[in-house]
Amino acid sequence: MHYILVTGGAGFIGANFVLNWLSDLGADSIVNVDKLTYAGNLKSLASLEGNERHVFSQTDICDREALDQILAKYKPRAIVHFAAESHVDRSIHGPGEFIQTNIVGTFTLLEAVRAYWGTLEAADRDAFRFLHVSTDEVFGSLAAEDPQFSETTAYAPNSPYSASKAASDHLVRAYHHTYGLPVLTTNCSNNYGPYHFPEKLIPLVITNALAGKPLPVYGDGLNVRDWLYVGDHCAAIREVLARGRVGETYNVGGWNEKTNLDVVNTVCDLLDALRPKPKGSYRDQITFVKDRPGHDRRYAIDARKLERELGWKPAETFESGLRKTIEWYLDSQGWVQNVMSGEYRKWVATQYAV
């Protein structure tokens, strides 16, 4: 078998990528490395149980010895690096884990991959790729009249999370320019879709709405984000991995700039249509709460380079992707309840007891 190695493949975007990749019967097998923190969930990959093309390893990317062993055993032709702490609010309250995973972890992975890459035959070295998945938050905040983020926008991270991701981006770039490692970087806008941990805005609104709980909106609700359906993001990553120019960065966006309040209202309206309340609208549950520290006002991605060079553009509109997302959550309440109750973490501890 031929393999690619995916880090963080039990997380939200990583799991969607693994499922998407393995749905292609002609694609390589996957070695899936995930530490299984609170946001990693093997139940997202339940459909792959018994699939010989999916090898899972509960491994921390900070564990150099374990990474060396995995690389030597499976000899992947590419790395797709999703593994990261990614929640801004959590980074404000506990930045240490973000520094450890996003910076030290990426450094450790790069060192392991550099050593492995150096052992390959010339043709395999040339064909090898390290694709680093990052975020638009490294570019900081935009005013309403500012142009969208491009690949040449200066970095200006404003939270411990975005600062740690910016540092990881710089490390990846440095390993290409210093050591020649064939890297690719993607910077994406806000993702949404199935298997999203319910601390993020869209799944939080869906789960709270169905539970009759308040739908919290920070500040005035007018912070703007560009929204990208996770299936479109996975398709973009596959294109960049296959045909992207080595050393280049590609922005991946959905061309869907929405205020947080617009997003919450749209979720409520779709829920009103798909799972109506006995009385009133889900909008009645909207509650404005104190803004979080350092809350960036606007993010917006210019994804024209990706379309121009590789022909990619999103297949979903915000409305079509959001409808698919809500329908998935309505049909997957067992997954949601397991995530929120912590039962799946207990199962993992038993399943992978050392």
Residues labelled as active-site residues: 136-137, 161
3-state secondary structure of 229: strand
Torsion angle (degrees, nearest 10) of CA 214, 220, 223, 224:
80
Contact between residue 135 and residue 155 where contact means Cβ atoms under 8 Å apart: no
Contact between residue 97 and residue 38 where contact means Cβ atoms under 8 Å apart: no
Contact between residue 267 and residue 327 where contact means Cβ atoms under 8 Å apart: no
Structure tokens at 146: 């500012």
- Give strand pairing partners of 225: 258
Contact between residue 243 and residue 184 where contact means Cβ atoms under 8 Å apart: no
- Residue 208 to residue 262: CA distance in whole angstroms: 17
Contact between residue 163 and residue 139 where contact means Cβ atoms under 8 Å apart: no
- For residue 278, the one-letter residue type is P
Q: Which residues of 316-336 are buried (b: 16+ CB within 10 A; e: fewer)?
A: bebeebbbbbbebbeebeebb
Contact between residue 223 and residue 297 where contact means Cβ atoms under 8 Å apart: yes
